[in-house]
Copies of this chain bind each other. A is one copy, B any other.
Amino acid sequence: MDSAQFREAAHSAIDEIIQYYDTIADRPVLPSISPGYLKPLIPNGPPQDGEDWPTIQKDIDSIIKPGLTHWQSPKFMAFFPCNSSYPGMLGELYSGAFNAAAFNWICSPATTELETVVMDWIAKLLGLPECYLSDGEGGGIIQGTASEVVLTAVVAARERLIRRILEREGFGDEESEEKIDRAAELRGKMVALGGEHAHSSTQKAAIIAGTRFRTVPAPRSTGFSVTGSALRQKIEECKAKGLLPFYFTVTIGSTATCAVDNLEELAAVARENPDIWFHVDAAYAGSALICPENQGLCPPLSDFDSFNFNLHKWLLVNFDCSAFFIKKRKDLIDTYSITPTYLRNQFTESGLVTDYRDWQIPLGRRFRSLKVWFVLRTYGVNGLRAFIRNHVKLGEYFNGLLDQRKDIFTVVTPARFALTTFHINPQYLVSPTIGSSPANKADPSHEAYLNDFTNSADAQYREDANQITKQVYEKVNEKGEFFLTGTVVCGVYIIRVVSATLSAEEKWLKRCFDVLVQTVEEVKKSRAT
Known: A17-B94, A487-B342. A46 touches B377 (CB 8 A): yes
Q: How far is it, in angstroms, between the C-alpha of A346 and the C-alpha of B486 when the chains are bound? A: 12
Asked if residues B487 and A90 are in contact (CB atoms below 8 Å), the reply is no
Known: A42-B117, A125-B46. A17 touches B93 (CB 8 A): yes
Q: Is A36 an interface residue (CB 8 A)?
A: yes
Segment at the interface with B among A207-215, A291-299, A452-460: A207-215
Asked if residues A86 and B50 are in contact (CB atoms below 8 Å), the reply is no
Which residues of B have CB within 8 Å of A33?
A: 109
Asked if residues A96 and B106 are in contact (CB atoms below 8 Å), the reply is no
Asked if residues B99 and A362 are in contact (CB atoms below 8 Å), the reply is no
Q: Which of A79, A86, A201, A256 has the most CB of B within 10 A?
A: A86
Q: How far is it, in angstroms, between the C-alpha of A312 and the C-alpha of B100 when the chains are bound? A: 9
Asked if residues A71 and B338 are in contact (CB atoms below 8 Å), the reply is no
Asked if residues B85 and A89 are in contact (CB atoms below 8 Å), the reply is no
What are 16 A-B contacts with C-beta separation under 8 Å? A35-B347, A35-B352, A37-B109, A46-B125, A46-B377, A67-B113, A79-B342, A101-B145, A144-B144, A144-B364, A145-B363, A145-B364, A207-B336, A207-B338, A208-B361, A210-B210
Which residues of B have CB within 8 Å of A230?
A: none
Known: A110-B67, A184-B189, A319-B101. A3 touches B21 (CB 8 A): yes
Q: Which of B7, B113, B114, B370 contacts A18 (CB 8 A)?
A: B7
Q: How far is it, in angstroms, between the C-alpha of A105 and the C-alpha of B36 when the chains are bound? A: 10
Known: A101-B71, A319-B101. A378 touches B56 (CB 8 A): yes
| The 7 residue pairs across chains A and B that have the minimum distance between CB atoms | A67-B110, A184-B188, A84-B99, A38-B113, A342-B487, A50-B380, A6-B86
Task: Add 11 more A-B contacts to A10-B90, A13-B90, A155-B207 (CB < 8 A).
Answer: A1-B85, A36-B113, A48-B382, A71-B107, A88-B99, A92-B93, A99-B312, A187-B187, A201-B363, A208-B209, A208-B361
Number of interface residues, chain A, beta carbon within 8 A: 148
Asked if residues A39 and B207 are in contact (CB atoms below 8 Å), the reply is no
Give A372's nearest chain B residue, CB to CB.
B46
Which residues on A are within 8 Å of B, measured CB to CB? 1, 3, 5-7, 9-11, 13-15, 17-18, 20-22, 30-31, 33, 35-39, 42, 44-51, 53, 55-56, 60, 63-69, 71-72, 79, 82-90, 92-102, 105-111, 113-114, 116-117, 121, 124-125, 144-148, 151, 155, 158-159, 180-181, 184-185, 187-189, 200-201, 203-204, 207-212, 255-256, 312-313, 318-320, 335-336, 338, 340-343, 346-347, 350, 352-353, 361-364, 366, 370, 373-374, 376-383, 474, 485-488, 496
Give A449 Cβ to nearest chain B Cβ, in Å.
21
Give A357's nearest chain B residue, CB to CB.
B147
Give A76 Cβ to nearest chain B Cβ, in Å.
9
Which residues of B have CB within 8 Å of A92?
A: 92-93, 95-96
Asked if residues B380 and A47 are in contact (CB atoms below 8 Å), the reply is yes
Give A186's nearest chain B residue, CB to CB.
B188
Q: How far is it, in angstroms, between the C-alpha of A67 and the C-alpha of B283 when the chains are bound? A: 31
Which residues of B have CB within 8 Å of A96?
A: 84, 88-89, 92-93, 318
Asked if residues A10 and B93 are in contact (CB atoms below 8 Å), the reply is yes
Give A48's nearest chain B residue, CB to CB.
B381
Asked if residues B1 and A98 are in contact (CB atoms below 8 Å), the reply is no
Give A489's nearest chain B residue, CB to CB.
B341
Give A78's nearest chain B residue, CB to CB.
B107
Give A358 Cβ to nearest chain B Cβ, in Å.
10
Give A363's nearest chain B residue, CB to CB.
B147
Which residues of B have CB within 8 Å of A373?
A: 56
Asked if residues B100 and A69 are in contact (CB atoms below 8 Å), the reply is yes
